Amino acid sequence: MEHAREGQVAVIFVSQRTDEDAEGYAEAAEAMAALAAAQPGYAGVDSVRDSGGLGITVSYWMDDASAKAWRDNPDHTRIRDLGRARWYDWYVLEVTRIERGYRWSR
């Protein structure tokens, strides 16, 4: 069975949250999820965060141009700047093309 994401672009965002402004962060995260989902080329997201604030979010895009358009979205840029100033101790962002993948479910 072919993996549905093959050929797409994955943006991998690993971050460590601060303890600052949890409510503001939650509101911004919800707004960014809705905004990203409305972007042309958006193909989905997977996200987890542990109790210590370490999180991994992978957003999926149909192509690199779509991922770059999301990066350059003015509302996303504004929230990213707030994240750097307030909500994150650090983050690492990597972009890759999905060559192959497998799914399994019970």
Name the band, by pLDDT with cuts 50, 70 and 90, for residue 59: very high
Q: Where are the domains of the chain?
A: 9-97
* Tokens 């509101």, residue located: 27
What end-to-end distance do the CA atoms of the chain give, in Å? 15
Q: Cβ(93)–Cβ(28) under 8 Å?
A: no
Question: CA angle, 34 as apex, 32 and 36 as ends, to 5°?
Answer: 65
Range 57-70 average pLDDT: 98
The CATH label, of 3.30.470.20, 3.40.50.10580, 3.40.50.300, 3.30.70.100, for the domain at 9-97 is 3.30.70.100
What is the model's pTM?
0.91
- The tens digit of pLDDT for each residue in 73-95 reads 999 999 999 999 999 999 999 99
- Indicate whether 1 pLDDT > 80: no
Residues 6+ apart with CB under 8 A from 53: 16, 17, 18, 19, 89
pLDDT surpassing 80 at residue 43: yes
